[in-house]
Structure 1
């Protein structure tokens, strides 16, 4: 059985490296595909723009930062939830924002989980371990329709 990739939507190179390092330290071996802004995330998920020849990406989970260039994380989430096929993709908001408005809006428009990035590396590694166990091992996702399969 082949594991599906993780889509990490993160514009901060340090947070990107930290997330990947924390996942690897916890033996989470799924391929991690990085989108560095909201537009790239949508192009990957919908198979548009520079990714039109590859087809849509169907990740196991989307780890979504909120403060992104081009298109905000909340708008990315809105577009995922508005799509009849992608609306069931698990989306975890993984952000440094602890603003109550961001948390409330994230859940209102359909995030599956809201996780604040720990500042301390060891705490971040533990958060990554728990995310990996839950979203990649324990959680059961429905199969998405075939037309979303990555070419």
Structure 2
């Protein structure tokens, strides 16, 4: 089975560490790259600004409240770029405001998860991606 390449766009070091630990528990192999701000994320995705050798991620985990370019701006750039628009984007946000959720889906986010400071929530995020990826792999084999 192929390694799942994940781009985690998150500026909170504790959240980064927690998410990385949760993904180690999965049956699928994951390679997690981290961008700590929106500009870096866009450069990695578009392979510009010193990131010409970056791998194209299979999925993006995107926090909304990040420096330089917020998550909404990054999401909009991903979904408006024909080379990137097919990458699933999962929003990980501390915001449970209806306006934020609605805006994320209007910008074509694939999933919106409200972050809680609970390891079980992060494990569920990892399992969701694992389930999605395994079901996607099964469909390719048919």
Structure 1 and Structure 2 fold alike (TM over 0.5)? yes
**Structure 1 stretches lacking a partner, 5+ long:** 141-151
Q: What TM-score, normalized by structure 2, do the two folds share?
A: 0.88
Please give the residue correspondences for 1:63-142 in structure 2 after superposition, counting only pairs within 5 Å: 63-134=61-132, 136-139=133-136
The alignment's C-alpha RMSD in Å is: 1.6
Q: What TM-score, normalized by structure 1, do the two folds share?
A: 0.83
- The Cα shift of 1:28 comes to 4.2
Secondary structure of the 2:33 match is strand
Deviations 1:85-123 (A, max 9, x none): 111111110111111111000000110110112322123
Secondary structure of the 2:50 match is helix
Distance 1:104 1:90 in 2: 17
- Give aligned pairs, total: 137
The residue that corresponds to 2:14 in the other structure is 14
- The Cα shift of 1:9 comes to 0.5
Selected match of 1:60 from 58, 61, 68: 58
Distance 1:99 1:131 in 2: 23
Q: Would you say the 8 A contact 1:26–1:125 is kept in 2?
A: no
Q: Would you say the 8 A contact 2:39–2:68 is kept in 1?
A: yes
Distance 1:132 1:117 in 2: 18
Q: Would you say the 8 A contact 1:4–1:58 is kept in 2?
A: no
Q: Would you say the 8 A contact 2:61–2:91 is kept in 1?
A: yes
- The Cα shift of 1:128 comes to 2.0
Distance 1:123 1:112 in 2: 18
**Structure 2 stretches lacking a partner, 5+ long:** 138-142
- The Cα shift of 1:124 comes to 2.4
Distance 2:74 2:32 in 1: 18
Could you list the runs of 4 or more consecutive aligned residues of structure 1 that deviate by over 2 angstroms after TM superposition? 1-4, 25-29
